[in-house]
Chains A and B, each alone.
Chain A
Amino acid sequence: MSQHSPRILAIDAGGTMTDTFVVDETGAFTIGKAQTTPDQESEGLLTSFDDALRYWNTDRASVMPKLQTTVYSGTSMLNRLLERRGDGPIGVLVSAGMEDYFRMERAAQTYAGYAFSDRLHVVTHVHNQPLVPRRFIKGIRERTSFFGEEVVPLYRGEVAEAVRQLCHDGITALCISFLFSYRDPRHELEAENIVRQVLQEEGYDIPVYLSSRSNPVRGDLARLNTLVVEVYAARPSRQQLFDIRDRMKAEGSTAPVRVLASYGGTVSPDVEWLVTTLISGPIGGILGSRRLADLYHLENLVCTDVGGTSFDVGLITERELLTRTEPTVARFLLTLPTLAMDSIGAGTGTLVRVDPAVKRVTLGPDSAGYRLGVCNPDSGIIVPSITDCDVALGYINPDYFLGGEVHIDRERALAAIEEQIARPLGTDPFTAAEGVVRLLETQMRDHLYGMVLGMGYAPENYTLLGYGGGGPLHVAGYTVGLKFQDVLVPSWAAAFSAFGGACADYSYRYDRSVDMLIRANPSERQMMAAGLNQAWQLLHQRIAEEFIRDGLNPDAMTFLPSVRMQYLGMLDDIEVRATWPIDPDHGLDELIERFDSLFAKIFARSARSPETGYFVTTAIGVGVQVTEKPVLPKFALKGADPSRGAHKGQRSLYWNAEWHQANLWEMDRLESGNEIVGPAVIEAPATTLLVPPGMRAAMDAYRIFHLTSK
């Protein structure tokens, strides 16, 4: 019988692998992996769960009833959007004259997500295949102004006629998005009534979505996109989530299934606005980082995630996370509050080529992804990847990749590097491979250094955290020369995102555009305070409805009101905590004070521009129910010398144009307090920590490595 009693199950269902992260009541955890089963995700999830429990010698049946919480994050919704496999046909009603949203795409979507060189390369710009064909989009004459005043009344007959036509054409859902409906939803509501009446007459039962209800924020293309993506990509996922919930229940679990949302909370699968869970990949990592920042009392933390295809960097500055509200996803501009992470297309799978014209190494933009590279004979990849270089240089153990599950052929990798990189450059394969790896790490370093400098800080102000499958392998390289306060590598780096997901609270967030200029006149300020209070009232009401549906007590909810504001004329707004109800006399002064100091933290003190005035763009409400989180177990510190049993032997390793004999260590057998002196490689089934010559890695009481120069 196992002594572990699992409490938290966090699932990260990727396109190919489903990772599970299981935490017991002491905070100890185990990690499972299994193939994703896209047609019925619950299948792969349970297999992965079984895999995790295997390490604890326990089984599903006995632990299911003990689970307290299950957190899901996955990419199926995003993949549906990327691969254009969504639901439809969808009918759309827009203000007359605006029917060509999806064909014009504000032009910006024709190069969204492109590398900088291709943005400049206009012939590569291309329009997306519209999610909704033009004939399913109907223009209705009506107009509400930017100030919320009715300029043209709703032409009711046109609504009825359009809906009849769309029903006839077989739509499965209807979206309504009129200009400035976030200011005044009356036309959309009026249209909805007519629609429902016509649907009833026609005996046609389909859901109707209003932009003013789901997403009352400025930016009409992004607002409509998000509404359509909800129907197109998110709605089909609901069935999968319900299926997961049903399977978990049937297996004996009483824990609610929650889904990770892009703003860093979790929601129930019943959530009205499921599209908020569209992006969750890098979010878990940031939440996990925030947890560690709390644990170590860190003010400033750089979170770096090295995956197979991308390098994601997020910053926690003076304990604040930045949220963006208009991300570009799968070449669509959306209005989704999302924790800010900046990515470059440089990961361990990035493919390496030599430009034949200028004899220069180019990285990517494509990637071998989960197929690793040439070293994986089953991959079908013929162009060497970063992983191939890592294997060639002796950084990766070819017999221990995923614990030996994936066979790696070092000779194959070397041959490809020799032929495609070394020979064109007129050098040997090892010099070439090292050059490539250093080039990648330089790109990563430039990226994160630029982000830190952009905040008005220096690396000396930050601690850096490296995670993701490839983080521990490259973190020494991409931090070389940058004097961070500390460089941390968790021993569970490969499953760090799932760990972060398990750290997320139950929380619903809704935004509402308000667009108010704070004026000096007291009576105008009172009106503005009343307007803000009303906006929060609406947001609170909406979140309370979600709580009630989920069987939670809305009175026990922690409601966090905030606003997004900016100096008038600036392009970026930032989120500022507020109090609700806001005091009509002094509340706005307090808000301004908080904004000024936050702006100075996030950007720079000298960039503050109070003389231009303060503009509140959005009212935000977040309803939180605090949930149980993984407690990191603290181990007693042992001596600096690792036990003999942890030593696995030696391997040659190429670093700085020289071969070194590196000691190999088994990560699971190292103990808190142990110090590994480079050159060394610390191996675990899911990740490899490289300790280059001249560096050392010390494992602390929480089984997190601190990487320092000797």
Chain B
Amino acid sequence: MHYDDKTLAELISGNLPWSETKDIMSGEKDNDRFHMIVDILQKSVTFSERILLPLGPHLYIVQKGTERVVKCDCGQEFGDYRMNWKMKSRVFVRDSEPSLQELYHPSQGVDTSWMELREFYCPGCYALLETEAVPLGYPVVFDFQPDLETFYEQWLHEPLPSS
């Protein structure tokens, strides 16, 4: 099924009715879906660098000159995509009862002697970018380092832009 820009834009913004969202989730992907999605996202961000791959809500890998960096949709940069962007974010750790009870009922939530919640915020726009639920002292998780070359060459069948 081929969807138009309007439908996909609504899918991204979360305004598409569930039944249609479900159809898209369960259906096969069109060959040009990636480009359509990237085009829609490109129009929604404040910066002009080309988006190579969306990383999650708010975050993208973009081509900046000869570099590939992670950028928030507000324009805030997080450095080379092969480095963990979380290192350049603002972190709020919930490791005490009072901080957890802002989110949970007293009888629910995690045991603070076992684990903590970490929230990563954009220093530019303060959007919540990612959360982690990990044991105390656990290293910051590097979620995902995509193999851009292989993705472009073998999945999209096109060269990876280099500048």
Contacts and interface: CB of A to CB of B under 8 A. Distances in A.
B30 to A, nearest CB: 6
Contacts of B13: none
Interface string A384-402: 0000000000000000000
B29 interface: yes
A220 B23 CA distance: 32
Contacts of A126: 18, 22
B25 A121 contact: yes
Interface in B70-113: none
A632 to B, nearest CB: 44
A353 B31 contact: no
Interface in B10-29: 18, 22-23, 25-26, 28-29
A353 B18 contact: no
Interface in A96-143: 115, 117-118, 121, 123-124, 126
A357 B22 contact: no
B25 A124 contact: yes
B1 A115 contact: no
Contacts of A124: 22, 25-26
Interface residues of B, number: 10
Contacts of A355: 28
Which of B18, B25, B28, B30 has the largest number of chain A CB atoms within 10 A? B28
A353 B25 contact: no
B2 to A, nearest CB: 9
A362 B25 contact: no
A383 interface: yes
Contacts, number: 24
A44 B25 CA distance: 39
Contacts of A118: 26
A99 to B, nearest CB: 16
Contact of A383 (B1, B18, B22, B26): B1
Nearest to A129: B18
A362 B26 contact: no
Nearest to B28: A355
B45 to A, nearest CB: 25
Contacts of A356: 28-31
B121 to A, nearest CB: 25
Interface string A346-389: 00000001011100001001100000000000000001000000
A353 B26 contact: no
B101 to A, nearest CB: 22
Contacts of B25: 121, 123-124
A383 B1 CA distance: 8
Which of B1, B25, B26, B29 has the largest number of chain A CB atoms within 10 A? B26
Nearest to B33: A356
Which of A115, A356, A366 has the largest number of chain B CB atoms within 10 A? A356
B35 to A, nearest CB: 14
B26 A357 contact: no
B157 to A, nearest CB: 12
Interface string B27-62: 011110000000000000000000000000000000
A357 B29 CA distance: 8
Contacts of A353: 1, 28
Nearest to B26: A118
Contacts of A383: 1
A362 B28 contact: yes
Given A126-B18, A353-B1, A383-B1, A115 B26 contact: yes
Contact of A117 (B22, B26, B29, B31): B26
A353 B2 CA distance: 11
Contact of A121 (B18, B23, B26): B26
Nearest to A118: B26
5 contacts: A126-B18, A126-B22, A356-B29, A357-B28, A366-B23
Given A357-B28, A362-B28, A383-B1, 12 more contacts: A115-B26, A118-B26, A121-B25, A121-B26, A124-B25, A124-B26, A126-B22, A356-B28, A356-B29, A356-B30, A365-B26, A366-B23
Per CB-CB distance, the 3 closest pairs between chain A and chain B, nearest first, are: A355-B28, A356-B31, A124-B25
